[in-house]
A and B are shown apart, each in its own frame.
Chain A
């Protein structure tokens, strides 16, 4: 006999696995620290690449000025400005990444918790069903 409640739960679980679960279950497998750390690293690499590209664009745009003032530019000041800007951007990106991915991991965890509780319910129903079947056979 098909157990309606169990089929409903199994269908919901299968739908979750098919859609949101595909991404959520994959990411929730990481430890919280690993997941956030990994994305903070990606954010750092992204910001570094973006900063370098922006610098290249600025250099090309101001190429004439740079060539004309090659000897007059205060390189120490320019270097420190560039490094300070980079560090500030990197810190901002890291802080942002920490908050964004903490929230996201929390959402994935919630999805995972619901998924596990459904699996437990299905397991419980299956055990009850088996027990009933065994009792019926013994009688």
Chain B
């Protein structure tokens, strides 16, 4: 545990020192990974599949808020689907517009969830989504998570649609649209996963809000277990296929990622180093405010009271100064103190 706390402390210091670089690099990495995953699932549009273009876009996203990255991701998805079929792209655009019009008036800060959900599906760890959202955005994240699930199913069906596109002739526009909607918006598995996600998000959020010790840890573990049970129950009830092994692994990943998120991110105050400028009648001030950190070094001292008599018998002055060849600065200081005391004793004698 001490080692973990030290790592946390180091991370906090590092972020405090290089916050500008780290936040931009992380944003770039998140955007680039998301865009490459979208490219990997589709690849129907040459412009949206161009790696150089994606790097450029990710670099732009590194300096913009998370919501813009989500918007770019959605635009890429629409472009890719447009390369496959105009109807497909229009349906996806209409669904995203409904979300934009109805929901983002209320909670504009939850845009990142829209991209996070399909990305987690693509990384084969979809069960992490409710844990992350429950811990961070809370119930406000349910709607974007549902639409994110739709986006993933829209992307995953695209390859199937591409294979069966030859079935439709020039005039089969309506049949094509119905075929797309049946397999995306009306997809049973998509609806089931959306409901499970919504229930798990509410559960994680409610448990997290309890004023008890380790409420976040309890929320992560309980949420993941309940989510697994809900997935099994719903899939069995609706006769949908599911892989038990993947489910268990996915839920274990959800617990692990939830705990890491809680320990290293949510329970740490990554206060940034601030640089502000202001003035009064006499001076111009250029202030650099550096956050204070409480934990500097873990020192554990054990004092054995019961074994005093035994210690007195075996008392060795050299031991009390810890001169066992340790080269730590503190140990060196103790050694010097020991030598100095010994010299003083000799003088006295």
Q: Which of B95, B185, B276 is within 8 Å of A14, CB to CB?
A: B276
Chain B interface, >50% SS class: mixed
B248 at the interface (CB under 8 A from A): no
- Count residues of chain A with CB under 8 A from any CB of chain B: 31
With contacts A53-B94, A56-B94, A60-B174 taken as known, whether A100 is within 8 angstroms of B106 at the C-beta atoms is yes
Interface-located stretch among A29-37, A44-52, A69-77, A105-113: A44-52
CB distance from B146 to the nearest CB of A (A): 14
Q: Mark A4-23, 1 if CB is under 8 A from B, else 0.
A: 00110011011100100000
With contacts A10-B280, A46-B101, A50-B102 taken as known, whether A57 is within 8 angstroms of B274 at the C-beta atoms is no
Asked whether, in the complex, the Cβ of A57 is within 8 Å of the Cβ of B280, the reply is no
Interface-located stretch among B78-86, B226-234, B281-289, B302-310: B281-289
A130 neighbours in B (Cβ, 8 Å):
281
B287 neighbours in A (Cβ, 8 Å):
7, 10-11, 14
B265 at the interface (CB under 8 A from A): no
B98 at the interface (CB under 8 A from A): yes
The listed residue with most A CB atoms (<10 A of its CB), out of B94, B105, B287, is B105
Nearest B residue to A122 via CB reads: B280
B97 at the interface (CB under 8 A from A): yes
CB distance from A92 to the nearest CB of B (A): 11
B278 at the interface (CB under 8 A from A): yes
Nearest B residue to A42 via CB reads: B105
Asked whether, in the complex, the Cβ of B178 is within 8 Å of the Cβ of A61, the reply is yes
Q: Which of A18, A53, A61 is within 8 Å of B101, CB to CB?
A: A53
Asked whether, in the complex, the Cβ of B101 is within 8 Å of the Cβ of A6, the reply is no
A-B pairs with beta carbons under 8 A, tally: 72
B91 at the interface (CB under 8 A from A): yes
Asked whether, in the complex, the Cβ of A46 is within 8 Å of the Cβ of B285, the reply is no
B314 at the interface (CB under 8 A from A): no
B277 at the interface (CB under 8 A from A): yes
B332 at the interface (CB under 8 A from A): no
Nearest B residue to A50 via CB reads: B102
With contacts A14-B278, A100-B106 taken as known, whether A50 is within 8 angstroms of B174 at the C-beta atoms is no
Bound: A45/B94 CA distance, A:
16
CB distance from A98 to the nearest CB of B (A): 11
The listed residue with most B CB atoms (<10 A of its CB), out of A2, A6, A49, A61, is A61
CB distance from B293 to the nearest CB of A (A): 18
B22 at the interface (CB under 8 A from A): no
B185 neighbours in A (Cβ, 8 Å):
57
With contacts A7-B285, A10-B280, A15-B276 taken as known, whether A57 is within 8 angstroms of B181 at the C-beta atoms is yes
* 25 intermolecular pairs with C-beta atoms under 8 Å apart: A6-B280, A7-B285, A10-B285, A11-B276, A11-B289, A14-B278, A15-B274, A42-B105, A43-B105, A46-B104, A46-B105, A47-B101, A50-B98, A50-B101, A53-B94, A53-B101, A56-B94, A57-B91, A57-B95, A57-B181, A61-B178, A61-B181, A63-B177, A63-B178, A100-B106
Interface residues of A (CB under 8 A from B): 2, 6-7, 10-11, 13-15, 18, 39, 42-43, 45-47, 49-50, 53-54, 56-57, 60-61, 63-64, 93, 96-97, 100, 126, 130
> Which 3 pairs of residues, A with B, have the shortest CB-CB distance?
A50-B102, A14-B276, A46-B101
